[in-house]
Amino acid sequence: MSSYHLIRAIVLALVLTPTALMAQTPTPTPTPTPVPTWWQNLLRVTGISATPAKQRGSAESIESGRIWIADLQLKTRTRLTSESGYRSPIFVDKDKNILMLRNDEVFRVPVSGGPVKMLYQIKGAIKLVGQSLDDTDKVLMLTQDGNKKTSITLLSLSSGKLTVVPYETTSPEGKSMFDHFAGWNRTYGTTEVSVSEKVKKDESGRILTRWTDVFLKRIDQEPINVSNCNGINCGQPSLSQNGQLLAFVKAS
């Protein structure tokens, strides 16, 4: 082979080899972005920012009563409503107001005290869960139709409109999160709020009285009895966004 032909062969090899290698290298398949589950889309609602694996059951709570506010810094407890029959209080409007239910009506009352105002009538209203941190006009709640079917809905505070949130309870995670919505234990970052039973016994150990109290537990600290209802059932707790106030229901 002449020098000319040898040089030409080397040049062609250098030019064609990268092209051939590129042609043989397969195009990588892009990794699909995981689609959030229904409950992952709701983790930005106050009080439910926890994964299903961390949930635990709560003691049976009372049905209704008067709304009380506990100041965790001042260690005081103040009755917010003079009338009974209220349930499911949550903090809204940057902790300025309490939203609550009475029968199938939604009410609002200032945290500082004042008149109670009825906002909307929601047929089949069961429970207020919490306010969305991304859209403060939306409140997550549970409703029930005439066939006792429970729905997860978002209530618009400005219009009263309800938007149904599709959900499933066939997966362990889905069932656990739904049970969490229906229960009264709440998780706020590293702070847990729960309802637990207390008993009073005589000297022989016989139980004289049973009741439920609201407990608050911060990380690396022992649980604190916030309600101290002393023989009267208390429950349905909700913690303010600033972590200073806690609303609960005290039976009449």
Tens digit of each residue's pLDDT (9 = 90 or more) over 122-160? 999 999 999 999 999 999 999 999 898 999 999 999 999
Separation of alpha carbons 106 and 108, rounded Å: 7
In a domain, residue 170? The reply is yes
Q: Is the pLDDT of residue 96 over 90?
A: yes
Residue 162 phi, psi dihedral angles, 5° rounding: -105, 135
Say what the pLDDT of residue 26 is. Answer: 66
- Closest Cα to residue 117, out of 106, 103, 130, 131? 106
The mean per-residue pLDDT over the stretch 80-104 comes to: 96
- At 49, the amino acid letter reads S
Q: Which of 5-14, 27-36, 95-104, 223-232 has the lowest mean pLDDT?
A: 5-14
In a domain, residue 33? The reply is no
In a domain, residue 78? The reply is yes
Separation of alpha carbons 86 and 79, rounded Å: 12
Residue 218 burial (10 A CB sphere; 0-12, 13-18, 19+):
middle
How many distinct structural domains can be found in the chain?
1
Say what the pLDDT of residue 9 is. Answer: 53
Domain housing 87: 3-28+39-250
In a domain, residue 217? The reply is yes
pLDDT in tens, 61-78: 689 999 999 999 999 999
Separation of alpha carbons 133 and 178, rounded Å: 19
Say what the pLDDT of residue 11 is. Answer: 46
Using DSSP's 3-state secondary structure scheme, residue 39 falls into: coil
pLDDT in tens, 153-168: 999 999 999 999 999 9
- Closest Cα to residue 186, out of 214, 158, 163, 157? 214
Helices (H) and strands (E) in the chain, counts: 2, 16
Confidence tier at 21 by pLDDT (50, 70, 90): very low
Q: What is the pTM of this model?
A: 0.83
pLDDT cut 70: percent of the chain above it:
81
- At 187, the amino acid letter reads T
Q: b/e per residue, 163-196, with b = 16+ CB within 10 A?
A: eeeebeeeeebbebbbebbebbbbbbeebbbbbe
In a domain, residue 74? The reply is yes
pLDDT in tens, 201-247: 888 888 889 999 999 999 889 999 999 999 999 999 999 999 999 99
Token pair listed for 49: 């920012």
The mean per-residue pLDDT over the stretch 104-121 comes to: 96
- At 120, the amino acid letter reads Y
Going by C-beta distance under 8 Å and a sequence separation of 6 or more, which residues neighbour residue 202? 208
- At 102, the amino acid letter reads R
Mean pLDDT over all residues of the chain?
86
pLDDT cut 90: percent of the chain above it:
62
Separation of alpha carbons 109 and 118, rounded Å: 9
Pick the more confident residue, 15 or 183: 183
In a domain, residue 103? The reply is yes
Most confident of 5-9, 18-22, 51-55, 144-148: 144-148
In a domain, residue 34? The reply is no
Q: Is the pLDDT of residue 35 over 90?
A: no
Helix (H) or strand (E) holding 22: helix 3-24
Separation of alpha carbons 228 and 238, rounded Å: 16
